[in-house]
Structure 1
Amino acid sequence: MLIDVAPEHVEGWAEELASLTAGLGHLFARPEPREVFADLIEGLLSGLGRKNGWTMAERAGHATPHRIQKFLGEASWDADTLLAEVQDYIVGHLGDAQATLVLDDTQVIKKGSRSVGVAHQHCGVTGDVRNCQVMVMLTYAAERGHTFCDRRLYLPAVWAQDAGRRRDAGVPEEIAFATKPELGMAMLRGAIDRNLPFAWVAADADYGKDPALRAFLHEWALPYVLGVPVTLPVAGPAGKPHQPAVHKAGDLLHYAIARDQWERRSQGEGSKGQRYYDWTWFDVALPGQQPADGFAHHLLIRRSTKKKQLAGGRVDFEYAYFLVHHRRNAALGEAVCRAGVRWKIEENNEQAKQITGLGQYQVRRWNSWHRHVTCSMLAQAFLTVQRAQHPDAGPEPGPEDCTAADNAPGHGDEQGKGGRTQEMSACR
């Protein structure tokens, strides 16, 4: 659910915003960048249809965008120091020991070849291959709200290995090629080092299929719900001695169907109301990867409540697969809820692009990119905090959205099999 920001809300928050930007003035050595910083954050939160250097400069009363461009490109300040302040602000207002950290990437379509990291690569925004930049993002999803808390720019191999392009874009020498899951691990490691309070990690199959990311989460004994492809090798379920030792995850669907132990639960609220699916899970093992001490692995399968028209004209239920790494006393309901929390980062992607100018930058260099994106994250975090503090702006969906239901219709779907109804533990 997007934060729906009316002009009167932003006007009412002017004092809080001024206090926030003034409190971060110590990041800048001179008065001018402090002033431009405040102008920039206000511009990112304004009702401007397009939030680039020209429009925000005009709004701030600058004759040209030079001051904003200089602030993002040449002024003496550190984007990572601002990021630490953003994280402190998020934890100070939304901090929750039961929060979920959610990994995903998003793209910004670009022309030309000079903007740092731009390449002809897969673009999830359009579902095809095109010229774009890819940013790997981390969302902090808590009971009171959810917002971005970290970011990494993906540098494709064609960039990482091109000394001339790196030099022209100001890419630091220590930055080497890293996969998207590796960038995700770096952000999770940063969250651990900074003691961000959280309980679970969630991500889609592009991250769930990566064994190094899973190993990292096992090493740190972190519960997770990761989407996985049907080809993921798994062993199990237990008690089936005649089964092959190792399967693909999708091969276990026949076992789930034969067992027929599905529970209808909401995965959270969507644009049309609660998103109900049928769910089942059972214990599995990962060949060559042990869970953390006191943990277990389960394969969680989600089934649509109605048959649908699938690729090739086939009509059948639609299935999705998740690998759950959890403490042994965890319940199905909590795993379902955490799987639903993953969609919070999709909402943050949409919100940041529509409201706080995440992808509307006109910068090409490494340093400028990180500065703009971090400022956009601060603006988004401010909106999230204000929404949490001002109920008249409308509540964010809470953990009660992830509930069990007997015969829940869910978008007009058919009546479900009556699975067990159990109280959800609070989860974010």
Structure 2
Amino acid sequence: MMLGVTAEQIAEWDAELSVLTGSLGFLFNRPEPRVVFAQFIEGLLAELPKKNGWTLSESAGHVTADRMQWLLNGSVWEADRLRDAVRDYVLSHLGDADASLVIDDTQARKKGTRSVGVAFQHCGLTGDVRNCQTMVMLTYATTAGHALIDRRLYLPEEWTADRERCREAGVPHEVAFATKPELAIAMLEQARAARVPFTWILADAGYGRDPQLRAWCRQRAVPYVLGVPVDLPLDGPPGKPRQPTVKRADDLLHYAKARDQWERRSCGDGAKGTRLYDWTAFAVTVKDEDPADTFTHWLVLRRSLHPNRRGKDGQLHREIAYFLVHAPADTAISQIIARAGGRWQIEEDNELNKQLVGLAQYQVRKWTPWHRHVSACMPATAFLAVQRAVFPEPDQDPELEQAPDPGKDQSTGESGATG
């Protein structure tokens, strides 16, 4: 992950990790789980082929997996207190009033029907319907770095409608069905209650299509850049509100072609270099949605440079993505484009948590152990984000804004389960 580091830096990282795990000792009433928890975090960051109870136990020198499994399944501690501590740790090192809160979900493919929340549902990893669990995640993103600060497990209606099944999986009685955007709103409310400093909210069309999330932002005068579907309802063309010629987002393609004012700009650097697209933007009126005072709605279109999508006519076309922007009227389009590119930061965080610290490799089935495992992954990768901010790679200038790679979620997770 970092090149050209010295032995002294590695020793310092070890010391800093010990400080971090030591600071989390307040979670436990007894010394034994404090020690096992520190070993758990160290194991997540170790070079192990998989990150499950057995491999983590072997890394810690345990003869059996009992102590690691007890940490997740039987010991007394609160995963939400760990989540809050991770959030505070991230803010203490990366906090910035101009930060973005980025929303996305990721999946862990599973077998069977007993793991909490598992169901045949859309899997972003494969793009189709698979037996999996879905977790909604929240990343805190700044120019210095980015890390996950919250998580929610999505329970499909087939779960929440079956209270006996929920009881067997340890789901609290008060937990009812909530859509993924509603879970995202709950995390945003939690962040505001904790006085997390941020300015923008970013998400893809799976969340941008939700009117509740957009309303939450408008009512609080929060700027956002949200992906939206092609059929987002609009009222009239740019500059001529309430006219019938533009009724949905993709109707603006006619105006984009007519004025031919696409601008080629980068929205950040990726794994293969600068991510260049053609962009154009329109001030729009969203049907039945007035922006906050002094704010404006923009519909931003992003076009790929080369044909990469096969249309209904069988021909390759340049892909068009649509972003609805809610921002102060004087916001520069260049800033909006940069924020649109910033959504990839949560893609990178999800990939890092899966591939490096085993976010989806848990062997637990019930509600509380699930939250404990996922929450324990968060300090591990938050630690890496902080160290990366302190010790940038040799060819990087720490004074320059760093854009994330567009990570691809390639983890398959573990199918076995206990507890």
SS in structure 2 of the partner of residue 40 of structure 1: helix
CA displacement 1:172-207 (0-9 Å, x = unmatched): 111100000000000011111111111100000010
In the other structure, the counterpart of 2:27 is 27
Structure 2: which amino acid aligns with 1:237? P
- Aligned in 2, Cα 1:393/1:29: closer, same or farther, shift over 3 Å? farther
In the other structure, the counterpart of 1:356 is 357
Aligned equivalents of 1:317, 1:284: Cα separation in 2: 23
Structure 1: which amino acid aligns with 2:257? I
Aligned equivalents of 1:182, 1:395: Cα separation in 2: 38
**Is the Cα–Cα contact under 8 Å of residues 235 and 242 in structure 2 kept in the other structure?**
no
In the other structure, the counterpart of 1:119 is 119
Structure 2: which amino acid aligns with 1:115? S
In the other structure, the counterpart of 2:373 is 372
Cα deviation for residue 392 of structure 1 reads: 4.5
**Greater alpha carbon shift after TM alignment, 363-372 vs 308-317:** 308-317
CA displacement 1:50-89 (0-9 Å, x = unmatched): 0000000011011111111111111111000111100000
**Is the Cα–Cα contact under 8 Å of residues 267 and 276 in structure 1 kept in the other structure?**
yes
**Greater alpha carbon shift after TM alignment, 239-248 vs 342-351:** 239-248
Aligned equivalents of 1:160, 1:152: Cα separation in 2: 15
SS in structure 2 of the partner of residue 97 of structure 1: coil
Are residues 1:156 and 2:156 paired? yes
Are residues 1:318 and 2:322 paired? no
- Aligned in 2, Cα 1:241/1:189: closer, same or farther, shift over 3 Å? closer
Structure 1: which amino acid aligns with 2:284? V
**Is the Cα–Cα contact under 8 Å of residues 232 and 249 in structure 1 kept in the other structure?**
yes
Please show how residues 120-139 of structure 1 align to structure 2 within 5 Å.
120-139=120-139
Structure 2: which amino acid aligns with 1:202? L
Aligned equivalents of 2:155, 2:284: Cα separation in 1: 35
- Aligned in 2, Cα 1:179/1:118: closer, same or farther, shift over 3 Å? same
Cα deviation for residue 161 of structure 1 reads: 1.1
- Aligned in 2, Cα 1:397/1:133: closer, same or farther, shift over 3 Å? farther
Aligned equivalents of 1:395, 1:188: Cα separation in 2: 32
Cα deviation for residue 303 of structure 1 reads: 1.1
Cα deviation for residue 240 of structure 1 reads: 3.3
Structure 2: which amino acid aligns with 1:343? W
In the other structure, the counterpart of 1:251 is 251
Structure 2: which amino acid aligns with 1:294? T
Please show how residues 40-119 of structure 1 align to structure 2 within 5 Å.
40-119=40-119
**Is the Cα–Cα contact under 8 Å of residues 235 and 241 in structure 2 kept in the other structure?**
no
SS in structure 1 of the partner of residue 265 of structure 2: strand
SS in structure 1 of the partner of residue 151 of structure 2: strand
Aligned equivalents of 2:273, 2:305: Cα separation in 1: 15
TM-score normalised by L of structure 2: 0.91
Cα deviation for residue 290 of structure 1 reads: 1.1
Cα deviation for residue 238 of structure 1 reads: 3.7
**Greater alpha carbon shift after TM alignment, 393-402 vs 352-361:** 393-402
Aligned equivalents of 1:396, 1:184: Cα separation in 2: 34
**Is the Cα–Cα contact under 8 Å of residues 387 and 395 in structure 1 kept in the other structure?**
no
Aligned equivalents of 1:39, 1:394: Cα separation in 2: 33
**Is the Cα–Cα contact under 8 Å of residues 239 and 283 in structure 2 kept in the other structure?**
no
Structure 1: which amino acid aligns with 2:356? I
In the other structure, the counterpart of 1:290 is 290
In the other structure, the counterpart of 1:413 is none
In the other structure, the counterpart of 1:390 is 391
Instruction: Work out the number of aligned pairs and report it.
Output: 401
CA displacement 1:392-416 (0-9 Å, x = unmatched): 47759987567xxxxxxxxxxxxxx
SS in structure 1 of the partner of residue 49 of structure 2: coil
In the other structure, the counterpart of 1:36 is 36
**Is the Cα–Cα contact under 8 Å of residues 145 and 396 in structure 1 kept in the other structure?**
no
SS in structure 2 of the partner of residue 391 of structure 1: coil
Q: Which runs of 5+ in 1 are unaligned?
A: 403-428
**Is the Cα–Cα contact under 8 Å of residues 269 and 397 in structure 1 kept in the other structure?**
no
- Aligned in 2, Cα 1:120/1:11: closer, same or farther, shift over 3 Å? farther
Aligned equivalents of 1:372, 1:182: Cα separation in 2: 23
> Alignment RMSD, CA only?
2.1
Aligned equivalents of 1:396, 1:73: Cα separation in 2: 44
- Aligned in 2, Cα 1:261/1:401: closer, same or farther, shift over 3 Å? farther
Structure 2: which amino acid aligns with 1:356? V
**Is the Cα–Cα contact under 8 Å of residues 152 and 183 in structure 1 kept in the other structure?**
yes
Structure 2: which amino acid aligns with 1:118? V
Aligned equivalents of 2:85, 2:174: Cα separation in 1: 24
Aligned equivalents of 1:377, 1:395: Cα separation in 2: 25
**Is the Cα–Cα contact under 8 Å of residues 3 and 384 in structure 1 kept in the other structure?**
no
Q: Percent identity?
A: 57
SS in structure 2 of the partner of residue 233 of structure 1: coil
SS in structure 2 of the partner of residue 236 of structure 1: coil
SS in structure 1 of the partner of residue 213 of structure 2: helix
Cα deviation for residue 236 of structure 1 reads: 3.2
**Greater alpha carbon shift after TM alignment, 283-292 vs 391-400:** 391-400
Please show how residues 172-211 of structure 1 align to structure 2 within 5 Å.
172-211=172-211
TM-score normalised by L of structure 1: 0.89
- Aligned in 2, Cα 1:241/1:85: closer, same or farther, shift over 3 Å? closer
Aligned equivalents of 2:391, 2:153: Cα separation in 1: 33
Aligned equivalents of 2:216, 2:65: Cα separation in 1: 44
SS in structure 2 of the partner of residue 265 of structure 1: strand
**Is the Cα–Cα contact under 8 Å of residues 354 and 360 in structure 2 kept in the other structure?**
yes
Aligned equivalents of 2:253, 2:117: Cα separation in 1: 40
**Is the Cα–Cα contact under 8 Å of residues 117 and 153 in structure 2 kept in the other structure?**
yes
Aligned equivalents of 2:400, 2:149: Cα separation in 1: 20
**Greater alpha carbon shift after TM alignment, 228-237 vs 391-400:** 391-400
In the other structure, the counterpart of 1:336 is 337
**Is the Cα–Cα contact under 8 Å of residues 388 and 396 in structure 1 kept in the other structure?**
no
SS in structure 2 of the partner of residue 247 of structure 1: coil
In the other structure, the counterpart of 1:346 is 347
Aligned equivalents of 1:239, 1:394: Cα separation in 2: 46
- Aligned in 2, Cα 1:394/1:382: closer, same or farther, shift over 3 Å? farther
